[in-house]
Amino acid sequence: MFEQALHRDPYDARKYYHKGSTLMLLNRYNEALTALEQSINLDPASANASALRAQMLSELNRYTEALEMNEQVISLDPKNAEVYVTRGAQLFMLNRLEEAADALKQALHLDPSLTQAYFLQAGILQRLDRLEEAADAWEQVIRLDPKNADAFFSRGGLLVRLKRYEEALNALEQYMLLKPDDAFASVARGEVLFKLDRPEEALQMIEQ
């Protein structure tokens, strides 16, 4: 179908874009990259093909190329917050953590409702040992997605490192409401109760 359409009009960038996206779904990545490159060559002002090509390069672990392609997307669509989230993820995979944090900060400046951006930001800030900022980022994840169990658990563990034990206990209890069968969380909660000088409760929790 695509080949017939392209034969009729070989200069229609949209057809190459749709061909590329379909080939991507079929896991035929090299062909998809070629089709998207043709789409970009025919219509350099369209951000969609560049964004999809950057995404595909990331999935192929070709992060440096993906980052370069993403720079083109940003130049075409600088107000698109999700493009900066993608940039942050790519920089993270290249271990360029400060730049990754800056990209996610820009994404959240453009759209403060992006849960994924806060989630990535929290993990990166922890890696950078910016723990208070990371705790705030986890709090934003929870605010936007109050049923995100992983965010409660991660925030709880981080608050223990910050010796904010009451808050850590609350986070772990919220996690256990969402995942009551997680035995490891019970042990973690018991350890926090010990920190709070509540040994009997701690022992009861650990023995459950």
pLDDT of residue 5: 45
pLDDT of residue 2: 46
Say if residue 30 is exposed, middle or buried (CB neighbours under 10 Å; 0-12, 13-18, 19+): exposed
Integer Cα distance of 84 and 117 in angstroms: 9
pLDDT of residue 208: 66
Is residue 208 within 8 A of residue 186, CB to CB? The reply is: yes
Integer Cα distance of 187 and 190 in angstroms: 5
Q: What share of the chain is helix, strand, coil (3-state, %, to 5)?
A: 80, 0, 20
Mean pLDDT over the full length of the chain: 90
Integer Cα distance of 4 and 123 in angstroms: 47
Tokens encoding 50: 């560049």
Q: Which residue has the tokens 């995942």?
A: 179
Task: Flag residues of the chain having pLDDT under 50.
Answer: 2, 5-7, 9
Q: Which residue has the tokens 């993820």?
A: 89
